[in-house]
Structure 1
């Protein structure tokens, strides 16, 4: 058998293999919902609450830098980091404010969902 025959056989078998794979569920699409909740939650992001001190407000970038305590629900230690926030949330803040806040976190992006001065 030469390379032409192998290539031709491969090209002819790919559509058949694809069709066989689709038929394994009786032609019904597979429902992946709920099969891996941890993965779904990570894809959607996680929510948490924390307390901290406002270090910097940047209206131009739409961010607030907060030195916060540990976030046990996410396994985070105390740290200082930036969060995205809405303009109406930012305008009520200044450096030094003690706050309690809720946020959603997806990878390296965290967004304030709720914020209250203490």
Structure 2
């Protein structure tokens, strides 16, 4: 998933440059904005979500699932987990970063309850308990 994100981030400026300026962009550059147009009234802009309100901070949540893989080299544990309503995630299987002690506490096939933090930098298991 990181490769797709990186490729998208690298390709987006090229696509935008190829499109060239629109007539609307030319019109906007000729019309200065007044203070009222530039003021932000504290409402979120579309597509910005929580980044405006919490600066992209990590969010904590908990879930239940089954350990499907443990990768000591990558420092990850993959869990097939149910929905996480607190952060509006559907059920999915994903890899979480996890320190060695957490990885050592479980094995593939274990049903677990776990707590984690997630944000722009990724998701990290902070505690895990076998069911």
Could you state the TM-score of these two structures normalised by the residue count of structure 1? 0.65
CA apart distance, 1:58: 0.6
Show the counterpart of 1:110: 123
User: Are positions 1:55 and 2:75 aligned together?
Assistant: no
Superposed CA RMSD in Å reads 2.3
User: Are positions 1:88 and 2:105 aligned together?
Assistant: no
User: After superposition, where does 1:1-118 map in structure 2 within 5 Å?
Assistant: 38=50, 39-41=52-54, 43-107=56-120, 109-118=122-131
Call closer, same or farther: CA 1:42–1:97 in 2, change over 3 Å. Answer: farther
Q: Which consecutive residues of structure 2, in runs of 5 or more, have no partner in the other structure? A: 1-43, 45-49
Instruction: Find the structure with the greater CA-based Rg.
Output: 1
The aligned length equals 85
Q: Whose relative contact order is higher, 1 or 2, with alpha carbons under 8 Å and at least 6 apart?
A: 1
Q: Which consecutive residues of structure 1, in runs of 5 or more, have no partner in the other structure? A: 1-35
In 2, are the aligned partners of 1:42 and 1:106 still within 8 Å (CA)? no
Could you state the TM-score of these two structures normalised by the residue count of structure 2? 0.59
